[in-house]
Amino acid sequence: MTRTFSLGQAAKSAGQFKIDYEQLLNPRQYDAVKEFQGPILCIAGAGSGKTRTLIYRVARMIESGIDPESILLLTFTRKAARNMLERVTHLIGDEGKQVAGGTYHSFASMILRKYGHHIGIPASFSILDEADSSDIINLIRNELGFNRKESRFPQKKTITQIFSKAQNLEKPITEIVDSFFAQFAEHSKDLCRLNEEFAAYKLKNALLDYDDLLKYLYKLLKESDEARSRITSKYRYIMADEYQDTNSVQARITILLGGISNNIMVVGDDAQSIYSFRGARVGNIIEFPGIFKNCRIIRLERNYRSTGAILDAANSLMEKAGEGFKKNLFTERDKGELPARVKCEDDQEQAMFVAARILELREQGIKLDQMAVLFRSSFHAYQLELELKKRNIPYAKWGGFKFLEAGHLKDIIAHLRVLQNPYDQVSWLRILLLIDGVGTHTATDIFNHLKASPEPFDLNAIKARPKATEGLQKLSKMLTSAARIIQSPPARLLEIVSDYYFPILKARFDDYPRRFKDVDQLALIAEKFERLTDFLADLALEPPRDSVDDVLAPETDENEKLILSTIHSAKGLEWHSVFIISALDGRFPSFSSFKTEADLEEERRLLYVAMTRASENLAISYPSQIWDPATGSLFARPSRFLEEINGTLLENWQITR
DNA sequence: CGAGGGGTTGTTTTT
DNA sequence: CAACCCCTCG
């Protein structure tokens, strides 16, 4: 590997930049941008121009002669990285494209393909998403006979969550079960056993789940001197965004990556930490200066996004925060209108209010895509979705049910996976079960047979019931011919699979026309890739976030859509007008957060994140009561957080019919 | 051994 | 209000 060394850095002086950074940034931002040697912790409040700062920092680095390929930008989603680097490119030209950027997970995936062999990971590993992991766990659970217990064993999805939480928090299974899933305490031992088997299975089949990606990247950096020195000498300028939402493995990775060059900046806001359920530690950001000596701390506290009134209300909410990370966010904008506190009769009335108000704002010239409705959990929006459909208001929903979770798309992907890895047991079982006359037993037999065969796609020698033979032959024929052109663009392979799958789809689902369209949508995504491996790896690392409904919506109407989003998915974004719905104790804060003070505090930060998404208009609404069938209780109290916000900072709205 | 029916779950948030 | 599981029938 060669390393480029540029003399440009010394040659250029401040006056030679194309961009007038000092003019375009406020003094604090400029501080963070102009200095890129040495460690920096940047505490960036909501709407303080954090993204802008990062973009200009990368631009300035490149303008100073730093090799763009030595810059690594770690962000929370890959989309965030992509957008930022596009803007860098826009500012200074194509060099911006050479900067490495992505999530910790995607970075891990890339590095492990290249250097994984140092710790025994083959370059051809596949990535498991949560559903894949569940399926494998289910398989092993059945083999171990744990499903036939007298007392109920947790469901596959729950087990997956338990395992993931254990790895994210780096705690033993038993402890996770005791503290978060006490109802399954009696199965602790079996769960440990299952977890061991699961780990062994992944190892044997070269499968990595999300947690493994991080775990092995850390292991690589820690244990392989050669890999570490190659990686750290390539990436000499590290920036990590949303650092408050990293877990301890990610923090250790960051420290190892930045430890040699010391040129590391982490950016974050402890008041916006909302991912502790998956192991995020606010501690990472707080401990950072202690780990990197001479770390400079830069605070961005001027908010450019929201009106004074919105900011006052948000600050008021955080004043009562149990843990005192005091923020001093200020704005020089006008006060604007007070945020609305809207009491509605019920869920239905709330939906009607939101829809009517949205239409009113639209009359005033605010575009639909400048408005968003935010909620704690995605099912809170069901009623509203009905109302929007009724009134023909186009919307896109983020979070909740994912496009790829639809059964028919999983079927298609399973076929592609088998092509890529003919020994992928879960995918084989899935596609074999689609054939008439094949059940779990036959499918397992077939898999065991072909596992030992040099021609895994040749199913002709298989013994099965007569009813099944025709289907098996078709499958075999399709896979064999697709395998012959396995190097073709994934879109082509997808086409072959779809042609085969359409009759099955038609027979299985009444609503097959709708589902056909989903497949077309998948094909559009596939077109962006040249190799099947890349396509499949990408689907796991960054599943398309649009819901099925959204994909089905006609692509007309100049793309102007209202956004419905979980607060988690709305992180980092902003809209002119924001509605926060179902601010009802039990819904938000969520019933399941009542147990501990820490969980409640996270709900508070979540509301803070939601409120600070709004630039001009904010309305927080709640139905006066809701019957919750899940808990069997009646929620009838407005969110406790609404009570805590200083009453003079909100305006109460009355609904009349 | 597979298919299909009925009863029974348990529901945050996501890379 | 699904998905999921289990059981019985064909």
Per the annotation, the verdict on A613 as an active-site residue is yes
List the nucleotides on chain B closer than 7 A to a protein CB: 1-3, 9-15
Active site residue A333: no
Pairing of the two strands A614-623 and A626-628: unpaired
Report which of residues 571-610 in chain A place their beta carbon less than 7 angstroms from any atom of strand B: 590, 592-593, 599
Distance A156 CA to C3 C1' (A): 12
Shortest-distance nucleotide from A155 CA to C1': C4
Q: Please check whether residue A313 lies inside any domain of the structure.
A: yes
Q: From the candidates A242, A245, A312, A387, give the one annotated as an active-site residue.
A: A242
C1' of C10 to CA of A442 (Å): 18
Backbone angles phi, psi at A311, to 5 degrees: -65, -40
| A121: in domain | no
Strand C contacted by A632 CB (< 7 A): no
Give SS3 for A297. Answer: strand
- A151 CA from B7 C1′ (Å): 17
From the CA of A406 to the C1' of B6: give the distance in Å.
Answer: 24
A505 and A428, same structural domain?
A: yes
Burial zone of A631 (CB within 10 Å; 0-12 exposed, 13-18 middle, 19+ buried): exposed
Query: How many angstroms separate the CA atoms of A155 and A150, rounded?
Result: 14
Nearest to A500 by CA among A412, A406, A404, A437: A412
In angstroms, how far is the first alpha carbon of chain A from the final one? 72
| A338 and A198, same domain (yes or no) | no
Give the domain-ending residue among A243, A265, A300.
A300
Report residue A169's pLDDT band, with 50, 70 and 90 as the boundaries. Answer: confident
pLDDT of residue A218 exceeding 90, the answer is yes
- Position A630 confidence tier, pLDDT thresholds 50, 70, 90: low
Q: Is the dihedral of CA A448, A449, A453, A456 positive or negative?
A: negative
Residue of A343, A324, A317 lying closest to A640 (CA atoms): A317
Question: A102 and A195, same structural domain?
Answer: no
In a domain, A327, yes or no: yes
- A546 sits within 7 Å of strand B by its CB: no
Find the Å distance, CA of residue A441 to C1' of nucleotide B4: 17
A231, A104: one domain: yes
Q: Which nucleotide is nearest to A181 (CA to C1')?
A: B10
pLDDT, tens digit, 9 for 90 and up, residues A567-589: 998 888 899 999 999 999 888 88
A88 shares its domain with A181: no
Average pLDDT taken over every residue of chain A: 86
Highest mean pLDDT among A5-9, A107-111, A541-545, A565-569: A107-111
Q: How far apart, in whole angstroms, are the C-alpha atoms of residue A4 and residue A449?
A: 52
* Statement to judge: residues A411 and A519 lie in one domain: yes
Name the catalytic one among A28, A50, A341, A587.
Answer: A50
pLDDT digit string (tens) for A37-90?
999 999 999 999 999 999 999 999 999 999 999 999 999 888 888 889 999 999
* A19 found inside a domain: yes
Is A550 a domain residue? Answer: no
Structural domain containing residue A97: 14-113+213-300
Q: Are residues A532 and A608 in the same domain?
A: no
pLDDT at A518: 78
Q: CB of residue A441 closer than 7 A to nucleic acid strand C?
A: no
Q: Using the structure, give the distance in angstroms from the CA atom of A631 to the C1' atom of B10, rounded to a whole number.
A: 10
Q: What pLDDT, on the 0 to 100 scale, is given for residue A290?
A: 92
A401 CA: nearest nucleotide by C1' = B14
Q: Are residues A133 and A241 in the same domain?
A: no
Q: Is A241 a catalytic residue?
A: yes
Is the pLDDT at A263 greater than 70, yes or no?
yes
Coil, strand or helix at A426:
helix
Residue A100 (CA) to nucleotide B15 (C1'), in angstroms, measures 18
Q: Is residue A167 part of a domain?
A: yes
A28: annotated active-site residue: no
3-state secondary structure of A391: coil
- Count of the separate structural domains present in chain A: 4
Distance of alpha carbon A480 from alpha carbon A222, whole angstroms: 43
Domain boundary among A205, A236, A251: A205
Q: In the 8-state DSSP scheme, what is residue A399?
A: S
Nucleotide closest to A138 measured between CA and C1': C4
Asked whether strand B has any atom less than 7 Å from the CB of A509, the reply is no
Q: How wide is the angle at C-alpha A575 spanned by C-alphas A571 and A578, nearest 5°?
A: 90
Q: Which of A45, A54, A74 is nearest to A605 (CA)?
A: A45
Residue A247 falls inside a structural domain:
yes
A146 has pLDDT over 80: no
Cβ(A289)–Cβ(A297) under 8 Å? yes
SS (H, E, C) A54-88: HHHHHHHHHHCCCCHHHEEEECCCHHHHHHHHHHH
Burial class of residue A339, CB neighbours in 10 A (0-12, 13-18, 19+): buried
Note if A270 is an active site residue: no
Q: Decide: CB of A437 under 7 A of nucleic strand B.
A: yes
A508 touches strand C (CB under 7 A): no
Residue A6 domain-assigned? no
Chain A residues 89-148 within 7 Å (CB) of strand B: 103, 105-106, 129-130
Same domain, A508 and A589: no
Residues 366-385 of A with CB under 7 A from strand B: 376-379
The structure tokens 């392979």 sit at A493
Domain CATH number, residue A342: 3.40.50.300
Task: State yes or no: is A495 an active-site residue.
Answer: no
Catalytic residue among A77, A244, A613, A616: A613
pLDDT of residue A363: 93
Token pair of A449 as six digits: 């047979």
Give Cα A19 to chain centroid, integer Å.
Answer: 33
Q: Is the pLDDT of residue A219 over 90?
A: yes
Among the options A241, A312, A550, A603, which is catalytic? A241
Residues A421 and A535 both lie in one domain: yes
Domain boundary among A242, A268, A300: A300
**What's the burial of A111, exposed, middle or buried (CB within 10 Å: 0-12/13-18/19+)?**
buried
**d(C-alpha A49, C-alpha A624), whole Å:** 37
Question: Which residues in window 140-169 of A are less than 7 A from strand C by Cβ?
Answer: 147-148, 155-157
Measured CA to CA, the distance from residue A98 to residue A305 in angstroms comes to 30
Mean pLDDT for the stretch of residues A592-599: 82
A530 plus A440 within the same structural domain:
yes
| Strongest mean pLDDT among A172-181, A462-471, A493-502 | A493-502
Strand B–CB A77 distance below 7 A: yes
For residues A359 and A473, membership in a common domain is answered with no
Question: For A381-402, what is the mean pLDDT?
Answer: 81
Going by pLDDT thresholds of 50, 70 and 90, the confidence category of residue A227 is very high
Burial class (CB in 10 A: 0-12, 13-18, 19+), A595: exposed
